Structure 1
Amino acid sequence: MGGVCSRKRDQQVDEDGVQIQVSGRYGKSGSSKWLRTSFSRPVIDCQLGRESCPSLMELCIHKICEDIDRYTKFSMLPRDISQQIFDKFVDSHCLTSASLEAFRDCAIQDVNLGEYPEVNDSWMDIISSQGLSLLSVDLSGSSVTDDGLSLLKDCSNIQALSFNYCDQISEAGLKNISGLSNLTSLSFKKSNTVTAEGMRAFSSLVNLAKLDLERCSSIHGGLIHLKGLTKLESLNIRYCKCITDSDLKALSGLTSLKELQMSCSNITDIGISYLKGLCKLMLLDVEGCHVTTSCLDSLSALVALSYLNLNRCGLSDVGCEKFSGLKNLKVLNMGFNNITDACLVHLKGLKNLKVLNMGFNNITDACLVHLKGLTNLESLNLDSCSIEDEGLANLTGLSLLKCLELSDTKVGSNGLCHLSGLTKLESLNLSFTLVTDSGLKKLCGLTSLKSLNLDARQITDAGLAAITSLTGLTHLDLFGARISDAGTNCLRHFKNLQTLEICGGGLTNAGVKNIKGLASLTLLNLSQNCNLTDKTLEMISGLTALVSLNVSNSRITNNGLQHLKPLKNLLSLSLESCKVTASEIRKLQSTALPNLVSFRPE
């Protein structure tokens, strides 16, 4: 964000209810791994007045890592301590090929080096020295080759193995894992070297329960080697365009299969018919496949099916009456299709539905009457449908609703009165609607709200003042709203805010003064406010929980970067169209912000 003020243009593909993000492998040394570990790392601080003190174990490990140059071997330590020291090294990006030697023969169980820089075959000798203790290995994004993989052959107790995005492992190299019969989880995402013939190595992995081959482009014909894997419960072949109907024949006998994800493959209704015997199948994702409503005949035989993703399949109303046979569905995604009001009448019998996504269809108010009986609904997506105020009256009985998506609809202020009884509502998106400042007063009773999106130009300071009773908000999006310095005074009511976006262009440093006290903020987006200066960075330097900061299109210069040094948790920094150079950000990264993995300008 920060490039344009209006974000809702080209829609991101929605998978399993969440938007796809670009993998860190293709960004600036990015990895979601660092996002997870940065929150879990213990804080070593025993100063007087602190509320908590680290454990003795944490202090010991911190001290060992601090004096690491004094130690050359950890194998005499108990395994759990060696594991924690190893994890600490990885989390702090301090593990090198030299320091790795100290962990030889330590009986470590988990080696999680996914997308860790510079991992290659030379590391594998130490990793494999853990022997029978080794239970999980993640070397995704590494430069490990067939030779390195072969060193794991004797680590026969390995249960989980991930080699996502590893381009230097060949078909021949896959044979090295054929003897790891204790494997229960195996992942080779976007590994073009995984071929149909290479998959022959998987046929002996009789305990395999989870297999991830997402974006593997050469596996057509290879699923035949999975026929004997009777314990397989989860298979991911999303974005494998080489997969066709004939491939699914091999899956017909995998009666333990519970999850099958194959979006954007070349599957049709014929392929779906081969799945009729999978009586335990609970999740089926065929987003973007060439299926029609005719496939619902086959799906009705899947008595355990509770999650069905039919987004972007080009479905029409013809055959929609067959939805009535899917009685056990709890999640139904049908966004981005050609469905009209005529379809929804056939959904009213799906009493178990908890999540319904009808976004980007030709839906109007007339269809919403058929949702009245879906009293178990917790999430409803009507994004970009032709819904107006009157239609919302049909939602008043959906008392369990927690998430409501009304973005880009024709809903205005009058319609919000129908939401006042939805007291369990936690997330509400009103971006690009007709709602005005005065209408927001009708939301005051929704005290369970945690996330509110008001990305609309007609929302001003007065609108922000109208919702100050919603003190439980943790996420507030005012991206396109016209908020001034005066309006930011209202932010003092939202002490629990974790994410805040104010990008309407009206803020100066005076308004930022009212933001600097929001100590719980982890994401702050102030882009498009061209009058912000280096003083802004000085004022927010106390927001030490920040993980993501965007102050693009402002007057910030290289001189202001010094104020970011206290933000040790910062992972993402965007200062595009500022007087800031990538070289100065890199200096800051190397000296003060070691966790920073994504920044712009690069």
Structure 2
Amino acid sequence: MASPHLRTPGTPSLLELCIKAATRDKSCVKAWRQKRRTFEMLPSELAHELFNSLLQSHLLSATLIGLFQSNLQEVNLSGEATVDGEWMAYLGGCRHLRALRATDCKALTNNAIRQLTGLTAMEELDLARCRKISDDAVPHILSFKMLRKLGLAETGLTTKGLLLLPGLSRLVLLDLGGCPVTDADLISFQALGMLEHLDLWGSKVTNMGARCLSSFKTLKYLNLAMTAVTAIPQLNSLLSLNLCNCDVESIYGDGTFSDSLLRELFLSGASLSLKDVISGSNTRNLHLLDLASSRVNDLDAFVHIPKLAILDLRATGLTNELMLKFQGLGDNLRWIDLSYTKIDSEGVGAIAGHAPNVEQLSLNHTPVDDNVFIYLVHFPVLQSLNLGGSKVNGFMTVGSEEFQQISVLSYLEQLQHLRRLDMRYTGVGDAALHGLKNLVQLSHLHIHSNSLSGLCILEICTLQK
């Protein structure tokens, strides 16, 4: 006899079937909701699964929350338009509640947050984009003495409420993106000695306030996108820095120190000189560099980023000539996005063989043509390739006297690790797609063309997976 614990992969478990039956409709919920003592004995994990199933089925009401008051530890109500003060009143009775995520709950008010003040175990609260939350909610939030993560992005907070936040001395994460945080507010946050994650995008912080960041000794993540900040002081503990849409002049001053841990640098839409901003000392451990939509006219600074693995150069106006600078990036590069640039097939050829470990390459909406396939074979471990919106047709014309068209998609057979291929909005038609018939390892093919027939698509679907 087969073990009762074994089941066919993909089939629901007995527990999943029970929860599905219990949350099928309102009549099913009405049948079991009177059994309060049974709920009190439910394991926390099972209670959470039932709670989330009710929420997803739109069967959860404020009064039903009362059944879970002995079990709930984490609740995510994000985006639920009906969540209001009544819901918070019932959640206020969930004495073990540690985390509440209620982002985009438009009906939540300051008074609703007051209903939660007795929750002494609360460690995480996210009220991002709850527009009715303002300074008057902060005194209630201060009652959560164990709070470690607080999200108030795009709420109605002003300096009056912001200056009270240092009272939450255990905070490790503070998200105030889109709030009018001033230099004075930021300076007051120095009292948050355990802070690791600080999100201040779109704030009123300037270089004057940013200077105090050097006193945040435990800070790992900093987001100052869309601010007037142009210079970042030395932050030895920082792992991730976001300065998107800023006019960046310097990062870490003159770069004379040697122990930067920075791994992620987001400069999308920024105005900067790479040579001035990136130095050997502040980027030697950099793993990810996002320069999308920024002004890139010199890539010499790349020689200072020996560990770079992820590079985003979308919509940068990058040219073939600049691609020659890629040749010094070494073997660490794994992911390159060149979408919406002026790079053509010859530009790809400039780095062919110089980035042998690239696994993902995006060339969508670039002028690359069918000649690119000659160079793609020099990316031997490529797993994902995006050619959508390019000039690829799937055929190449050869011969000096008698012109002959040959299928070029068969070149991809040499890429034995290729799993994903995107050729949407290209000129690839039925005849060219036959070149994919031997790509048995391909698991995801995205294609959209007026040149395709139903018969050809059916043939593609028979590819061995």
TM-score range, shorter chain: 0.7 to 0.9
- 1:573 equivalent among 443, 446, 457: 446
Q: Corresponding residue for 2:153?
A: 263
- Secondary structure at 2:64 match in 1: helix
Q: State yes or no: 1:157 paired with 2:157.
A: no
Alignment deviations for residues 377-424 of structure 1 (CA, whole Å, 9 cap, x no partner): 443444343346x88872353542333344555545754883477432
Q: Corresponding residue for 1:236?
A: 126
Output the CA distance in 1 between the equivalents of 2:160 and 2:214: 28
Q: Corresponding residue for 2:116?
A: 226
- In the TM superposition, residue 487 of structure 1 has moved relative to its aligned partner by 4.0
- Secondary structure at 2:92 match in 1: helix
C-alpha contact 2:78 2:105 (8 A) present in aligned 1: yes
C-alpha contact 1:547 1:569 (8 A) present in aligned 2: yes
Q: Corresponding residue for 1:554?
A: 426
Give the TM-score, by structure 1 length: 0.61
C-alpha contact 1:550 1:573 (8 A) present in aligned 2: yes
Q: State yes or no: 1:460 paired with 2:326.
A: no
- 1:530 equivalent among 391, 395, 400: 391
Q: State yes or no: 1:200 paired with 2:89.
A: yes
C-alpha contact 1:399 1:422 (8 A) present in aligned 2: no
C-alpha contact 2:220 2:238 (8 A) present in aligned 1: yes
Residue correspondence of structure 1 range 132-171 to structure 2 within 5 A? 145-147=25-27, 154=38, 156-159=42-45, 160-161=48-49, 162=52, 166=56, 168-171=58-61
C-alpha contact 1:178 1:205 (8 A) present in aligned 2: no
RMSD over equivalenced CA pairs, Å: 4.2
- 2:309 equivalent among 440, 445, 450: 450
C-alpha contact 2:245 2:269 (8 A) present in aligned 1: yes
Output the CA distance in 2 between the equivalents of 1:445 and 1:301: 35
C-alpha contact 1:529 1:553 (8 A) present in aligned 2: yes
Aligned AA for 2:336?
A: L
Q: Corresponding residue for 1:502?
A: 363
Q: Corresponding residue for 2:257?
A: 397
Output the CA distance in 2 between the equivalents of 1:232 and 1:203: 11
Q: Corresponding residue for 2:331?
A: 471
C-alpha contact 1:253 1:277 (8 A) present in aligned 2: no
Output the CA distance in 2 between the equivalents of 1:484 and 1:584: 32
TM-aligned CA distance change 1:282 to 1:157, over 3 Å: same
TM-aligned CA distance change 1:526 to 1:418, over 3 Å: same
Output the CA distance in 2 between the equivalents of 1:303 and 1:406: 27
- Secondary structure at 1:226 match in 2: coil
- 1:189 equivalent among 78, 82, 85: 78
Output the CA distance in 1 between the equivalents of 2:182 and 2:453: 50
TM-aligned CA distance change 1:293 to 1:531, over 3 Å: same
Give the TM-score, by structure 2 length: 0.76
TM-aligned CA distance change 1:267 to 1:584, over 3 Å: farther
Q: 1 or 2 for the larger relative contact order (CA 8 Å, sep ≥6)?
A: 1
Output the CA distance in 2 between the equivalents of 1:127 and 1:589: 39
C-alpha contact 1:167 1:192 (8 A) present in aligned 2: no
- In the TM superposition, residue 243 of structure 1 has moved relative to its aligned partner by 2.5
Alignment deviations for residues 191-239 of structure 1 (CA, whole Å, 9 cap, x no partner): 2233321333323322221222222222323323322221121122222
Alignment deviations for residues 241-281 of structure 1 (CA, whole Å, 9 cap, x no partner): 23233334433322121111121222333444564543322
Moved more, 560-569 or 454-463: 560-569
C-alpha contact 1:377 1:398 (8 A) present in aligned 2: no
Q: Corresponding residue for 2:288?
A: 427
C-alpha contact 2:69 2:95 (8 A) present in aligned 1: no
C-alpha contact 1:145 1:168 (8 A) present in aligned 2: no
Q: Corresponding residue for 1:512?
A: 373
Output the CA distance in 1 between the equivalents of 2:464 and 2:44: 35
- In the TM superposition, residue 480 of structure 1 has moved relative to its aligned partner by 3.9
TM-aligned CA distance change 1:149 to 1:270, over 3 Å: farther
Runs of 5+ consecutive residues of structure 1 not aligned to the other structure: 1-72, 90-94, 112-122, 129-142, 317-338, 595-602
Output the CA distance in 2 between the equivalents of 1:584 and 1:271: 64
- In the TM superposition, residue 450 of structure 1 has moved relative to its aligned partner by 0.7
C-alpha contact 1:144 1:166 (8 A) present in aligned 2: no
Alignment deviations for residues 9-42 of structure 1 (CA, whole Å, 9 cap, x no partner): xxxxxxxxxxxxxxxxxxxxxxxxxxxxxxxxxx
TM-aligned CA distance change 1:392 to 1:198, over 3 Å: closer
Output the CA distance in 2 between the equivalents of 1:284 and 1:585: 53
C-alpha contact 2:345 2:369 (8 A) present in aligned 1: yes
- In the TM superposition, residue 474 of structure 1 has moved relative to its aligned partner by 0.6
- In the TM superposition, residue 469 of structure 1 has moved relative to its aligned partner by 4.7
TM-aligned CA distance change 1:146 to 1:519, over 3 Å: farther
- 1:362 equivalent among 213, 223, 228: 228
TM-aligned CA distance change 1:387 to 1:186, over 3 Å: closer
- In the TM superposition, residue 515 of structure 1 has moved relative to its aligned partner by 2.3
Alignment deviations for residues 540-572 of structure 1 (CA, whole Å, 9 cap, x no partner): 4776766654323310236666748846643x8
Output the CA distance in 2 between the equivalents of 1:589 and 1:230: 58
Moved more, 186-195 or 536-545: 536-545
Aligned AA for 1:512?
A: F
Output the CA distance in 2 between the equivalents of 1:157 and 1:422: 48
Q: Corresponding residue for 2:64?
A: 175
Runs of 5+ consecutive residues of structure 2 not aligned to the other structure: 396-406
- In the TM superposition, residue 352 of structure 1 has moved relative to its aligned partner by 4.2
